[in-house]
Structure formats: structure tokens, C-alpha cells
A and B are shown apart, each in its own frame.
Chain A
Amino acid sequence: MTTLDYISIRKTFGPTVALESFDLDVKEGELITLLGPSGCGKTTALRITAGFEFADSGALLVGGADITRTPAHRRNMGMVFQSYSLFPNLTVANNVDFGLRTRKQDKITRHHRVAEMLELVELTPYADRYPHQLSGGQQQRVALARALAVQPQVLLLDEPLSALDAKVRTSLRDEIRRIQTEVGITTLFVTHDQEEALAISDRVCVMSAGRVEQLGTPTEVYRRPSTAFVARFVGTMNEFRAEVGMGGEVTVGGLRVDVPAMSARAAGSAVNLLVRPEDVHLQEDGLPGTVASVIFQGSTTLVGIRLDVFDQLVSVDVGQGRADDLAVGDRVHIGVVGANAVCEDAA
């Protein structure tokens, strides 16, 4: 187990800035997810960690040792790629053995390590198969076993689930977390899938335009987004046009909403108020609107309500009991809870 520290990493590709003042510290045995849209720099950060790219400036420390300019094959990293990356000419067992053979370990040790790894990913019966004889999920498990076999200091996972179908994705995601916890290895996981990031991580690092927007536990990132970007990127958000009142409170179409996290703003200034669907509820004396859609999502139901005051569609997360009483065209009123809302200046 080891720590991983990024200190003011900057990386450019021609005129494009991929990473700018990228700072991050990953604790021992922690699983951190780099989450962000395409082009935000998350894969660049991972490739710099693996040694496939070098930072223009800044430093990368593994267990306190500077490895900023160390070539990939001299770093002790295990990596799982998005496209399975197994060597097609080798069997499952030989794929897992590849890194051990490179490290010139003796035959018996290698054999036992391969057996141990295959058992860990529950693929022992598949040891003699070739990659093309396995499903996508099985191939990724072999890739994980291969990466872990060499006992790396850090495990790097580059969108390992994105090529899999939904059901396999969920089960492999849970399996990766189980194995990571069991082995206790420091892990960096890259994804653009927020659900995946929230489900698997100890902490989530939300990135935008090469910078860290927010670093926090999944609950913090979801419930208390520090910027409007994080609020919009992670989960669903309703956006209300609002105005700052005399007492520092916010009014949405005449409805008063208390937003504790809002920084001081001049009375009368226009703001955008971002509120999660679960913080909007049906109430008698709220903003009037008409039910436009009722979307059943299994454990929850999202109701789309078109507000009279803004002619705007709002998503409301209602409990199963309430949803059964609602139909498209019904007149309803909504209230807004501002405890976890994010406020930004209106353009």
C-alpha cells in the first residue's frame, strides 16, 4: 500500500491545456475516482500516473518518491484499460503470468501467484482459454488479475466498465470494489459515469477543463456540490431563475427559499438556483404547475411539472404512494428546499 501525490501538474498537447495546476493526494488503500466529461483531463492524469505521458511541470510522488520522469516500465503500476488489452496470442494463465515473467520470478512462485490471482477473480476454470474465447466481463477480470499479479504500488483503472453491458457492468463494478478492498491497494479509477463513480469510490474528484472542481466523498459531491458545474454534472438538477431578497434569502416566483450555503449578494440581484429533484416536493401553497410527465423508475418516480410562472419543466422525485395519484394534466403546487441548493449569478 502506498500514497499517490500530484503536485501542481501541468500538461499541454500543442495549444490545448489538458491539465492545469492539478493537485491531488490519494491516501493508502484509498479508491479515488476521477470523474468528468470528455476532454476534462482525467485520462491524461491517469496516463501521466502510468508513465505513458510526462507532465510539462509539477511533480508526481508515489510513497513519497518522485517518479515524474520515470519511464512506464520502471514504475510499479498495474493498469486495466477500457478495451480489454489482453494479449491475443496468450492463454488466460499466460496473460496473468506475463508481468511475473518480465520480473524474472522463478517458475514455482509464478505459478502459485497466477493460481492465486485466477482464484481471486474466480476464473480458475478458464486458465487455458484464449481471450477470444471469453466474454467482455471475463476478459476484464483477467486484465484485473494480470494487473494485480505483479503486486503493483498503485492500481489504475481506465474506464474498465464502459465497454460492457449494463448488468455485467454493475456486477463487475462491485467485484472490482470487493477485490480492491480485499487487496487493500491504492486505486485510481477513471470514468465519465457518475453513477459508477458514486457507487465505487472512497472519494470522487470531479474535473473540468484540466482542473479539480471538487474532491470529496460521494455523499459530499452529490449533496453539497461546491460549484454549479459539479451540481449540474453529478446527478439531475432543476434550475430556477430567482432573485436575492432583502434579508439575504432567495425568492423563486414569489416563493421564499432559504439557501444557507449562499455567499452574500446584493438584494435584488438575479441568480440561478440549482435544486435536486428530491429537494422539490408537492405542497399546497407552492408554485402552481401542470403535470407533464410521470416516469416510473423502479424504486422512485420522476414527475415532470410545467410551472405556470416560468413556463419551465421541473423534475420532482416523489414517493411511490404519491405518484400513483398523479396523471398527466393534473394541477399541482410545488415547494423548494434550499438546504442543499447551489446558487450562481445569472448571466
Chain B
Amino acid sequence: MIPEPVAPVPEDPPTAPTALAPKAVGRPSRRWANLMPLLVLSITGLYFVAPLLTLFRYSLQNVPAFLLGRDTLFKNWSFEAFRTFFGEDQFWSALTLSFKLAVGTAVLTLALLIPTTVWVHLKLPKARTMVEFFTVLPYMIPPIALVAGIKLIQPHVRWFLNSNYSLIPFYVVMALPFTFRSIDAGIRALDVRTLVDASRSLGCGWTQTLWRVLLPNLRTAIISASFLTMAVVFGEFTLASLLIKRTLPLFQREYTSREPQAGYALNLMVLLATTLLFVLLGVLTKKRDRKHRTFAHRAATMAPITEPT
């Protein structure tokens, strides 16, 4: 019997090295995958940094843009623009007012927001979503709508609006979307109900509980909320302009139109100060255990207790 011809078994193709396997199935190469985030970051970084660099150059170098070249790149750099606006009396008064408004706004915000948010968490947890919605409203409604409202009531409360500090309540409202979230996140991270119960069972009333338990444990949230409030106050223009208050943003606009180079130097400085503020925020909110005298050390400094006879 003649055996049927058997088809030759094809030899296995040479096995590719394992490292090259992904290429064979058509996936993007690992190198590109690694480069993509770097590329995106570089483009985004350039988008942010380029205007800042031009602002920096314009503020510090006295060379017109059309004369810029290799020969002029390192010529005529000076801090004259900074000296100019530092010499302005109005700059200092505007800065002081803005700073006072920022501190006032932060204090009022915290005084109103911390007890309210704690109360909502403890007694009305279902109302939290509604409160959160209300705090977003200032972000959704443009400041000009608030201005229109103020215009309406202005004749009746002129006595109040005449004061520089009349801006504080409005700034509290405008900062709410940021400050509420910060405080709320801090409280949610705490298990506030148990801490409050523990404190009360140990003899603390509500005020002591707030002072001794909640505030120290909300330190990070309080610092964040305060800095965000400051950022809002130092950047707000519309309301201050309407109520004719000489705050820093108003001075910046007026000064930039009067002294362009010094004005842009001022803008650069405000930008750097704000950045520094947020770097400081990062440093201050970093969790760390405070240094203290050890229990054993305290024991050593105390006289032994004597039993009553």
C-alpha cells in the first residue's frame, strides 16, 4: 500500500526576541509612549512661560521689541521699573487696603463658614448638597450681576458702601466657591461627628470643642481657604471699580495705562507674589508632627506628688 503523501509541516518562523514583541502586534513604541507626556508638558509649559518671559523682559529691559537681537539681548537691563512703582505713594496705600481687605475677608469667611459647615455635617447632613450648590452660585453668576444688584440698593446703604471695608461681605460671597470646598474637604477627612462626641464626653462645650479640637485639626483647610480668599481679593476688579475703592487691582490698571513699563513690572511682581503665596501654602500645609517636650522630659521637671496625710 502506497502511503498517502503527507503535507510537509511548515517550520516555525524564527521567534522574535521578546523585547520586540509589542512592535510585531502594531502597538505604539514604548519610546513614543514615554515621550508623549514630556512633549505635552513642554508645549503646555511653553504656552504659560512664554508670555511671562516677555513680560519679564519688557519690565526689566529698555530695548524696543523691534531692536531685539543677539547684540542687544544683554543690554539695558535694570530694576528701574520696580523702583518707579515702589516710589509711588498710591501703590503702598492700594497694597495696604487690599491686604486689609484680604485679611478681613479671610477672617469673616472662616468665622461664618467653619461653624456653619460643621453644623451642616453634624445636624443636617442631607442639606450639604444644597449648601454646596449655593456656594457655587457666585462662580456661576458673573460679578457684573452682583454689581447690578449693588447699584439697586446703593442709594439706601450709601453710609455702608462709603467705607472701604464694605467690600468685605461681597468678597466673602465671591470667595465662597473656593473656601467652602476647602473647609468641607477638611471636615470630611476628619470624622467630625466622633471627634465632637469624644470632646463633649470629655467635658468640652461647643466653643471649647471648636477651639481645641476642630480648629487645630482643620489647620490645612483653614490655611488653604485663607490663601484662596487672598488670591480672590488681590485679583478682584469689578466690584472695587464700581464702588470706587483704590484697591491694588484698580491701581494696577490705572498705573499700567499711565506708566506702561513700571505697570507691567508691578503686574509681574503681583504674579510672583501670588505664586509665592501658593508655594508657601504647600509648605505650611505639609503634614508634620510638631516638636514638643517628651512625656518623660516633662516628668523629670516635675516634683513628685505627695500623698495627703
Rounded to whole angstroms, the CA-CA distance of A146 and B199 in the bound complex is: 11
Q: Which residue of A lies closest to B290 (CB)?
A: A89
Contact between chains at B198 and A102 (CB < 8 Å):
no
Known: A79-B198, A87-B195, A87-B198. A150 touches B299 (CB 8 A): no
Q: Does A99 contact B (CB under 8 A)?
A: yes
- Chain B 174-209 against A: per-residue CB contact (8 Å), 1 yes, 0 no? 000000000000000011001101111111110010
Least CB distance from A56 to B in Å reads 18
Q: Does A130 contact B (CB under 8 A)?
A: yes
Q: Quick one: which of A114-140 are within 8 Å of B by CB?
A: 114-115, 127-128, 130
| Interface of chain B: mostly helix, strand, loop or mixed | helix
Known: A73-B204, A83-B191, A85-B195. A127 touches B303 (CB 8 A): no
Rounded to whole angstroms, the CA-CA distance of A98 and B213 in the bound complex is: 10
Rounded to whole angstroms, the CA-CA distance of A259 and B244 in the bound complex is: 93
Contact between chains at B294 and A78 (CB < 8 Å):
no
> Which one of B191, B194, B213 has the greatest number of beta carbons of chain A within 10 Å?
B194
Contact between chains at B303 and A83 (CB < 8 Å):
no
Q: Does A52 contact B (CB under 8 A)?
A: yes
Stretch at the interface among A105-113, A173-181, A233-241: A105-113
Q: Does B295 contact A (CB under 8 A)?
A: yes
Known: A102-B202, A103-B203, A128-B295. A89 touches B217 (CB 8 A): yes
Contact between chains at A108 and B197 (CB < 8 Å):
no
Number of interface residues of A (CB under 8 A): 38
Chain B residues, CB < 8 A from A71: 200, 205
Q: Does A77 contact B (CB under 8 A)?
A: yes
Rounded to whole angstroms, the CA-CA distance of A102 and B217 in the bound complex is: 18
Known: A83-B191, A87-B213, A108-B303. A72 touches B201 (CB 8 A): yes
Q: Does B156 contact A (CB under 8 A)?
A: no
Chain A residues, CB < 8 A from B219: 89
Contact between chains at A109 and B305 (CB < 8 Å):
yes
Least CB distance from B192 to A in Å reads 11
Known: A78-B201, A89-B216, A102-B203. A127 touches B194 (CB 8 A): no
B204 contact from A77, A86, A102, A156, Cβ within 8 A: A102
Chain B residues, CB < 8 A from A75: 201
Chain B residues, CB < 8 A from A127: 294-296
Contact between chains at B201 and A79 (CB < 8 Å):
yes
Q: Does A15 contact B (CB under 8 A)?
A: no
Rounded to whole angstroms, the CA-CA distance of A291 and B208 in the bound complex is: 64
Least CB distance from A129 to B in Å reads 9
Chain B residues, CB < 8 A from A78: 201
Chain B residues, CB < 8 A from A2: none
Contact between chains at A107 and B302 (CB < 8 Å):
yes
Q: Quick one: which of B200-228 are within 8 Å of A by CB?
A: 200-205, 208, 212-213, 216-217, 219
B201 contact from A50, A93, A111, A115, Cβ within 8 A: A50
Contact between chains at B202 and A112 (CB < 8 Å):
no
Rounded to whole angstroms, the CA-CA distance of A130 and B186 in the bound complex is: 19
| Interface of chain A: mostly helix, strand, loop or mixed | mixed
Q: Does B289 contact A (CB under 8 A)?
A: yes
> Which one of A50, A77, A108, A128 has the greatest number of beta carbons of chain B within 10 Å?
A128
Least CB distance from A210 to B in Å reads 21
Contact between chains at A98 and B302 (CB < 8 Å):
no
Least CB distance from A141 to B in Å reads 15
Chain B residues, CB < 8 A from A72: 197, 200-201
Contact between chains at B194 and A85 (CB < 8 Å):
yes
Q: Does A88 contact B (CB under 8 A)?
A: yes
Q: Does A217 contact B (CB under 8 A)?
A: no
Least CB distance from B11 to A in Å reads 54
Q: Which residue of A lies closest to B205 (CB)?
A: A73
Q: Does B298 contact A (CB under 8 A)?
A: yes
Chain A residues, CB < 8 A from B216: 87, 89
Identify 22 residue pairs between A and B in the complex whose beta-carbon atoms are under 8 Å apart, listed by A's number: A51-B200, A51-B201, A72-B201, A75-B201, A79-B198, A81-B194, A86-B198, A87-B198, A87-B217, A89-B217, A89-B219, A91-B292, A98-B212, A99-B202, A99-B203, A108-B302, A111-B298, A111-B299, A112-B305, A128-B292, A130-B289, A143-B198
Q: Given A81-B198, A89-B219, A99-B202, list of 18 further CB < 8 A pairs?
A: A52-B197, A79-B197, A81-B197, A85-B194, A86-B198, A87-B213, A88-B217, A89-B217, A91-B292, A99-B203, A102-B202, A108-B303, A111-B302, A112-B305, A115-B295, A127-B296, A128-B294, A143-B198
State the B residues within 8 Å of A (CB). Answer: 190-191, 194-195, 197-205, 208, 212-213, 216-217, 219, 289, 292, 294-296, 298-299, 302-303, 305
The 9 A-B residue pairs whose C-beta atoms are closest, nearest first, are A127-B295, A99-B202, A102-B203, A72-B200, A85-B198, A79-B201, A93-B295, A89-B216, A85-B194
State the A residues within 8 Å of B (CB). Answer: 50-52, 71-73, 75, 77-79, 81, 83, 85-89, 91, 93, 98-99, 102-103, 107-109, 111-112, 114-115, 127-128, 130, 143, 146-147, 150, 156
